[in-house]
Amino acid sequence: MRNLDLDLLRTLVAIEQGGTFASAAAVLHRTQSAVTQQMQRLEAIVGLSLFEKQGRGKNLSRHGEQLVRYARQMLVLNDEAVRTLSGEELEGTVRIGSPHDVAESILPTVLKHVVRSSPRIKLEIRVDRSPFLMEAMHAGEIDLTISSRFDPLLEGMVLRRSPTVWLCAADYVHDPSAPVPLVLADEPSIFRRIALNAMEQSRVPWQTNYVAPNLVGIKAALRAGLGVTARSIELLMPDFRVLGEQENLPLLPDVTYFLWMRRDVMDPLTRHVYTVLKRQMGLTEPGVADMDKHSGSLLKQTRHGGVAT
């Protein structure tokens, strides 16, 4: 049985992350020729070509991409084992994002698990709309994020599946004979899509009474009695109430909240926090149903010209 050299695998991952042998050499403080020799040794061990020429440069081959996926996992386990045996406690900062609607429900639970397991880790919190958080993830501005948006390019787990309900002010008087006055977020918004799709499919008359760019504006409009909105049950507060079929409003689909991390993360701190949350909260990876639901919503959004959050 052949054994893979972790040092060579670390160099392979550095090449994949940086895109070139030169960038990997700079990160690893080695010469480019040394990096090239390492990859030649790794190819000799596996007996396969890990790179293929493209123009003047080289890209990972199909076998190279497969090995990189295993390399990341092996390096994470190696680094965690060394750290655990040496008694080192992780320090540093992890940047976590959260949508506004779960900043007071799901986010505190997530933060509590992180702090209890690793008290020396500092947390930077960014609360924003889901599409902007996902953009920040891909830009490397945050390390982990909670989001209602599905992204197959990220590594993620299901945090919670929450019912979507029609919310209004506690003292709001609903008139079933009049068009439903909707309070909506501007695009892009998954809850806007859910509300409009439900109205279209049920043929319930409706009109847009208020459009807001953020959740603060939506809550203000609800409290002012300007109408109803479709949101996750996570947003239910003492001064709000839920409307339903008895008010001639259509049923709404559940929304899934995910915890996402970039697939290429080699930072032991971020990976540690992600693993801790997965283990302590009993989280599972997204299933086929989550992917199918996302695909179905995309079709409806395309028809309306919208984008999911």
Domain ranges of the chain: 6-86, 92-155+256-304, 164-247
Averaged confidence pLDDT in the chain: 87
Q: How far apart are CA 125 and CA 155, in angstroms?
A: 20
Q: What is the pLDDT of residue 118?
A: 83
Question: Which residues, in sequence order, are CB contacts of 140 under 8 Å at separation 6+?
Answer: 262
Superfamily of domain 164-247: Periplasmic binding protein-like II (3.40.190.10)
Q: What is the pLDDT of residue 308?
A: 30
Q: What is the pLDDT of residue 9?
A: 93
- Match 């079933």 to its residue by tokens: 176
CA-only gyration radius of the chain, Å: 24
Please identify every stretch of the chain with a pLDDT value under 70, giving residue numbers as ranges.
87-89, 264, 266, 288-309
Domains 92-155+256-304 and 164-247 are alike in CATH topology = yes
Give backbone dihedrals phi and psi of 233, rounded to 5 degrees, phi first: -60, -20
Which parts of 19-123 fold into alpha helices (H)? 21-28, 32-46, 62-86, 106-117
The two structure tokens encoding residue 285: 């990876």
Give backbone dihedrals phi and psi of 68, rounded to 5 degrees, phi first: -60, -40
Instruction: Report the CATH number of the 6-86 domain.
Output: 1.10.10.10
Instruction: Report the CATH number of the 92-155+256-304 domain.
Output: 3.40.190.10
Q: How far apart are CA 36 and CA 109, in angstroms?
A: 46
